[in-house]
Amino acid sequence: MSQRPLDDASSSILAAAREILAAEGQAALTVRRIAAGAGGSTMNVYSRFGGKDGVIDALLIEGFEHLTAAIRAVRTTKSPLADLLRCGVAYRTFALDHQAHYELMFDRVVPGYVMSERAHVTAAAALGTMADRVQVAMDAGLIRRGDTVATATVLWSACHGPVSLEMKGVGPPSTDWAEVNRQLMAAAVAGLSAGQRR
Amino acid sequence: MSQRPLDDASSSILAAAREILAAEGQAALTVRRIAAGAGGSTMNVYSRFGGKDGVIDALLIEGFEHLTAAIRAVRTTKSPLADLLRCGVAYRTFALDHQAHYELMFDRVVPGYVMSERAHVTAAAALGTMADRVQVAMDAGLIRRGDTVATATVLWSACHGPVSLEMKGVGPPSTDWAEVNRQLMAAAVAGLSAGQRR
DNA sequence: CCGTTACGATAACACTGTTATCACCACGTC
DNA sequence: GACGTGGTGATAACAGTGTTATCGTAACGG
């Protein structure tokens, strides 16, 4: 999956970073902590990954790969529209199960960090997986024909919106976010369905 | 609007913070910069606002108040559904015009910061403004009756999703985000419309 | 077996938010 | 009016951060 196999030191650094991120959130993800967790010194992080941003980038790529896998893992049935709705549920499940990872992927929480080219490509691949499912629904004549990626972006937004607000704790605490997610996703799919105009 | 009138020092600190945030983004928003911008010392920030979090909180509240005003400013016509759609446009316009503020409001970008009670109330007020417009549409029999706040949360998510992804630069650069925003908002409104079931 | 080279641990640097110190200035009292 | 007292705020210190420079060491080539 990764561009080239990592040596032991690199992979242990990445493993340590992954562990810290999952266990204590991104605020605890410091170069010193990562280095200590990997059993090396801070210089290791810099020689292997070029700095903290490099580690972030690697984790981000991992995250998008997992998201792609999660979307791909949604089973394909005879009802492509229902499949798309289940993708929305899978998306939310992934986000809630890997909150820290998700924040890393979709919030620019690390000040100076900018996504690398490879990270952008991996993110595009995740969107592409969604677009593939959109294609299936189009071929079945269930949603309007058009650019699959653009359509997938709409659905992606319908997933990300509720998930993002839910994780940030905006809105009343009593909110049933699973229901919000379901409603918006259902509305989006219905809005794209072939019967409707515009 | 604010709980109690601020003295000169407090308001100049807030003004400096607002200016730095708008001009250079939240990464430049340091206590020393704020104090220097306000012409005082760092201690001022601590005695007036209790620390950086207090300033963030004040800016956040301002942001939600502006958002509330932006939604309220959308003109009310004889077509409540069209009004809701224009709210979506206004929402995106607000977000793009005040990117740094929006990130402060919806990304937990400052590590240890947690919203104060007052901030939560102000955020709820913004959602309430949206809920008011939902109420109008319900009264007109245009969308299904139900909890206005829950319905407003769905619409809010439909606004936030595209805006968030657009600002983060996720997705292909050629994406027409205004169109994504329009489509999702239209789909959400349609999905809530009285004619549809579920 | 030595010279070179590259690696990595340590420590330093420029920052950050936060806190302690402490001079100073205004006020109240004699 | 002079003096003691209080609080305010500027300075500097502290514990972190990411990053970089120094420099000992260990491995490799001849």
Task: Name the packing angle between helices A148-168 and A99-106 (round to 10°).
Answer: 120
Taking the C1' atom of every nucleotide in all shown strands and the CA of A53, the nearest one is: D18
Per-position DSSP letters for A46-113, written without gaps between them:
HHHHSSHHHHHHHHHHHHHHHHHHHHHHSPP-S-HHHHHHHHHHHHHHHHHHTHHHHHHHHS--STT-
Residue B171: predicted pLDDT: 86
Confirm whether B88 is domain-assigned.
yes
> Where among B30, B50, B70 does a domain terminate?
B50
B100 touches chain A (CB under 8 A): no
Residue B57: predicted pLDDT: 95
Say if residue B84 is in the same domain as residue B119.
yes
Q: In chain A, which residue's Cα lies nearest the Cα of B126?
A: A171
Residue B16: predicted pLDDT: 95
Domain at B70, CATH number:
1.10.357.10
The answer on pLDDT for A3 being more than 50 is no
A184 touches chain B (CB under 8 A): yes
CA of B105 vs chain A CAs: smallest distance (Å)? 9
Query: What is the average pLDDT score of chain A?
Result: 92
Say if residue B108 is in the same domain as residue B182.
yes
Whether nucleic acid strand D comes within 7 Å of the CB of A112, the answer is yes
Q: What are phi and psi of A143, to 5 degrees?
A: -130, 160
Query: Residue A47 CA to nucleotide C4 C1', Å?
Result: 21
The answer on pLDDT for A197 being more than 60 is no
- Tell me which residue range forms the domain holding B28: 1-50
Collect all residues of chain A within an 8 Å Cβ-Cβ radius of residue B159.
161
Tokens 């809010």 locate to B156
Query: Residue A39 CA to nucleotide D24 C1', Å?
Result: 20
For residue range A148-186, list pLDDT tens digits in order: 999 999 999 999 999 999 999 888 999 999 999 999 999
Say if residue A36 is in the same domain as residue A76.
no
Say if residue B86 is in the same domain as residue B175.
yes
Residue B195: predicted pLDDT: 63
Residue B41 region by backbone torsions, left for phi larger than 0, else alpha for psi between -120 and 50, else beta? beta
Query: What are the average pLDDT values for consecutive 10-residue runs of chain B, which has 198 residues?
Result: 62 94 93 93 93 95 97 96 97 97 89 90 96 96 95 97 94 94 95 67
Alpha-carbon span A56 to A113, nearest angstrom: 8
Residue A74: predicted pLDDT: 97
Confirm whether A156 is domain-assigned.
yes
The answer on pLDDT for A192 being more than 50 is yes
Say if residue A153 is in the same domain as residue A181.
yes
Say if residue A40 is in the same domain as residue A83.
no
In sequence order, the β-bridge partners of residue A193 are A143
Residue A71: predicted pLDDT: 97
Domain at A31, CATH number:
1.10.10.60
Residue A8: predicted pLDDT: 79
- Partner-chain residue, chosen from B112, B157, B165, that has the shortest CB–CB distance to A180: B157
Domain at B6, CATH number:
1.10.10
Query: Residue A177 CA to nucleotide C3 C1', Å?
Result: 68
Say if residue B141 is in the same domain as residue B164.
yes
Tell which wins on pLDDT, A195 or A156: A156
- Partner-chain residue, chosen from B160, B180, B190, that has the shortest CB–CB distance to A153: B180
Contacts of B135-142 with CB under 8 Å at 24 or more apart are: B136/B76, B136/B80, B136/B83, B137/B80, B137/B81, B137/B83, B137/B84, B140/B80, B141/B194, B142/B80, B142/B81, B142/B193, B142/B194
Confirm whether A197 is domain-assigned.
no
User: Closest CA to C10 C1' — which residue?
Assistant: A41
Say if residue B146 is in the same domain as residue B172.
yes
CA of B10 vs chain A CAs: smallest distance (Å)? 27
Say if residue B72 is in the same domain as residue B31.
no
The conformation of residue B1, written as its DSSP 8-state character, comes to -
Question: Domains in chain B: how many in total?
Answer: 2
Query: Residue A93 CA to nucleotide D14 C1', Å?
Result: 43
Confirm whether B175 is domain-assigned.
yes
CA of B8 vs chain A CAs: smallest distance (Å)? 31
Alpha-carbon span B166 to B96, nearest angstrom: 9
Nearest C-alpha neighbor of A26 from the set A109, A112, A116: A109
Confirm whether A198 is domain-assigned.
no
Confirm whether B32 is domain-assigned.
yes
Residues 129-168 of A with CB under 7 A from strand D: none
Alpha-carbon span B85 to B13, nearest angstrom: 37
Say if residue A86 is in the same domain as residue A167.
yes
Residue A109: predicted pLDDT: 79
Q: In chain B, which residue's Cα lies nearest the Cα of A198?
A: B183
For residue range A79-132, list pLDDT tens digits in order: 999 999 999 999 999 999 999 999 999 987 787 889 999 999 999 999 999 999
CA of A49 vs chain B CAs: smallest distance (Å)? 23
Residue A194: predicted pLDDT: 65
Confirm whether B197 is domain-assigned.
no
Say if residue B12 is in the same domain as residue B38.
yes
- Partner-chain residue, chosen from A150, A153, A165, that has the shortest CB–CB distance to B160: A165
Say if residue A81 is in the same domain as residue A132.
yes
Interface contact A171-B127, CB threshold 8 A: yes
Alpha-carbon span B40 to B13, nearest angstrom: 8
Query: Residue A48 CA to nucleotide D21 C1', Å?
Result: 18
Q: In chain A, which residue's Cα lies nearest the Cα of B64?
A: A170
Residue B198: predicted pLDDT: 45
